[in-house]
Structure 1
Amino acid sequence: MDESNPPEHLNPLQRFGRDVRQVRQARKLTQEHLGKAAGYSYGYVSMVETGKLLASEKFAEGCDLAFGTGALFSGLLQRIDEGDHPSWFVPYLNLERKASRILNYSANLVTGMLQTEEYARVIFRVSNPIASAEAIEGKVAARLRRREVFESDTPPFLWVILHEACLRTVVGGAETMAGQLEYLLAASASPYVDLQVMPFSAGAPVANAMMPFTLLKFTDSPTVLYSDGPQGGKLYDSAKTVASYVDIYDRLRAHALSPDGSLNLIESLLEEYRNEHRSGPERR
């Protein structure tokens, strides 16, 4: 980190890293000592302290434990994370981390939790054309952090239904799409992930399935619905509304391709994108 930079010129990741470094040095700990206490390498600590890497929740908790700072760094990290998401999305994000099952239907873009870094970067760049590069990178990092729920001892089960439009809408170019489809195939190999594709041949969508939506199920509380809309997403906990979308999701699963058939389609489209990338320059 450039010591000559005044605090107001630092981005959120750099400020977090600066604070970790300052407290570590005040406690007379080396990067190696902190890494061992938090369960990470000294190289990881260095990347965080220089603002080159967004720390994980586990690392922030490890810092608080090693420094005796309560929940200071965990709170700082949460505020960084929330600052990179729209305010209307934060309540959903907090519930997503606690869910035991996540049922998602995506109508035109791959769901955020399964997006690759480059795919997400292109989406944020297009949807935030006047945002700085640092702001875009913050949003990308925050989106990738959502995958950390799968690193817990009891990860949630994720069931995703992607409309075929998600796979054929070219985001960033053939190379980006090839990377995205490769990631979908890799993710589907997890015992905690089920993936289906709703083909164009299925015809008109089920009622109320024109927009993407997600159902969050919990072990100790009622299911919650999150649905996108023109003004952003919204959470619904009405038993009647949730029950109607559970029924919709069951019908979507019934009309989608089987998991094996879905993977076959993804593999076929992946080869198309690979061939397109090899045959000429990408479209931007």
Structure 2
Amino acid sequence: MDETTPPEHLNPLERFGRDIRQVRLARKLTQKQLGKATGYSEGYVSKVESGTLLPRPSQKFAKGCDFTFGTGDLFSGLLERIDQGEHPSWFVPYLNLERKASRILAYSTNLVTGIVQTEGYARAVFRVSNPRASAEAIEDKVAARLRRRVVFDLDAAPFLWVILHETCLRTVIGGAEVMAEQLDYLMTVAASPHVEFQVMPFSAGIPAKSTMPFTVLRFPTSRTVLYTETRVGGRMHDSAQTVDAALDDYDLLRAHALSPDRSVSLIKSLLKEYRA
């Protein structure tokens, strides 16, 4: 990041980094000293200040800066607003819960689930869904989507179970190269010990009542929440009857989907087609 770049030309993380640098210098601290005070390396601080740390600085670092600088909740609050600012307001309540969940059960019928989308795939989706947005606005949305993966870096990372309908894998989003990259990433995701991955094949028909995408969040407190999304926005549901019906549907979907091994085999087959 060029120090002469006007603030209005910086993305949110670059502005965050510039603010950290300005306060650090005002407090007469080196990057090494700030790193030691917050529990991070000098290199980490450098990447934060340049706006190049992906997916984003941690809340622990932001809170450490606030404590070291004596700035209250300034930087931790700013980081939280950055996370929320590039998402629709109706999606923010879901994001706040997603970070606290112990299990995430996701079923998607037409697009790859957001939390496991690649940069290129997410960019193609946002370009279609936000046709009048500027290139900068699209990039901010892409970065915000990728930052959702930070939950898997937490000490108590959630267990993710993803069921994708075969439609998600065969609908070409962004071109063959983008799809190949996305499917390759899905195989990486499927290999994680914190993830279970299945594909719902066309041959399964309609195994459950729900034909729409939905996500169930489960928490250590035994609370369970259902999230559904429509064209006009998303909605959280926590009534026992509604949540139980969704869990019953998810059990049926799991039973009718391909096994994890067969799911990966299908992805490998499709990957060869996209690369060809």
Q: Return the TM-score normalized by structure 1.
A: 0.90
CA distance in 1, matches of 2:112, 2:95: 17
Q: Report which stretch shifted further, 165-174 or 1-10.
A: 1-10
Per-residue deviation, 1:139: 1.1
8 Å CA contact retained: 2:107, 2:214: yes
Counterpart residue number, 1:20: 20
Whichever residue aligns with residue 264 of structure 1, its letter is S
CA distance in 2, matches of 1:155, 1:51: 25
Per-residue deviation, 1:31: 2.0
CA distance in 1, matches of 2:39, 2:162: 32
Kindly report which structure 2 residues correspond to 1:45-60, keeping only aligned pairs within 5 A, or say none.
Answer: 45-53=45-53, 54-60=56-62
CA distance in 2, matches of 1:183, 1:58: 28
CA distance 1:48–1:133, change in 2 (3 Å): farther
SS of alignment partner, residue 155 of structure 2: coil
CA distance 1:264–1:12, change in 2 (3 Å): same
Per-residue deviation, 1:172: 1.0
1:267 aligns with 2:265: no
Whichever residue aligns with residue 230 of structure 2, its letter is G
Per-residue deviation, 1:9: 4.8
Per-residue deviation, 1:39: 4.3
Per-residue deviation, 1:38: 3.5
8 Å CA contact retained: 1:119, 1:180: yes
1:107 aligns with 2:109: yes
Per-residue deviation, 1:36: 3.7
CA distance in 1, matches of 2:146, 2:138: 13
Task: Give 5+ residue unaligned stretches, structure 2.
Answer: none
- CA offsets per residue over residues 201-224 of structure 1, 9 Å max, x none? 11135222x221000001114210
- CA offsets per residue over residues 203-249 of structure 1, 9 Å max, x none? 135222x2210000011142100001121110001111111111011
Match of 1:82 among 63, 78, 84: 84
Counterpart residue number, 2:196: 194
Whichever residue aligns with residue 220 of structure 2, its letter is T
SS of alignment partner, residue 224 of structure 1: strand
CA distance in 2, matches of 1:136, 1:36: 35
Per-residue deviation, 1:100: 0.6
Counterpart residue number, 2:168: 166
Kindly report which structure 2 residues correspond to 1:241-252, keeping only aligned pairs within 5 A, or say none.
Answer: 241-252=242-253
Counterpart residue number, 1:240: 241
Counterpart residue number, 2:34: 34
8 Å CA contact retained: 1:56, 1:145: no
Per-residue deviation, 1:7: 4.1
RMSD over aligned CA atoms reads 1.8
CA distance 1:182–1:36, change in 2 (3 Å): farther
Kindly report which structure 2 residues correspond to 1:109-258, keeping only aligned pairs within 5 A, or say none.
Answer: 109-204=111-206, 206-208=208-210, 210-258=211-259
8 Å CA contact retained: 2:207, 2:256: no
SS of alignment partner, residue 228 of structure 1: strand
CA distance in 1, matches of 2:43, 2:172: 36
CA distance in 1, matches of 2:20, 2:230: 39
CA distance in 2, matches of 1:161, 1:133: 31
CA distance in 2, matches of 1:103, 1:69: 38
CA distance in 2, matches of 1:124, 1:39: 36
- CA offsets per residue over residues 253-276 of structure 1, 9 Å max, x none? 11100111111101111111111x
Q: What percent identity do the matched residue pairs reach?
A: 71
Aligned length: 274
Task: Give 5+ residue unaligned stretches, structure 1.
Answer: 276-284
SS of alignment partner, residue 243 of structure 1: helix
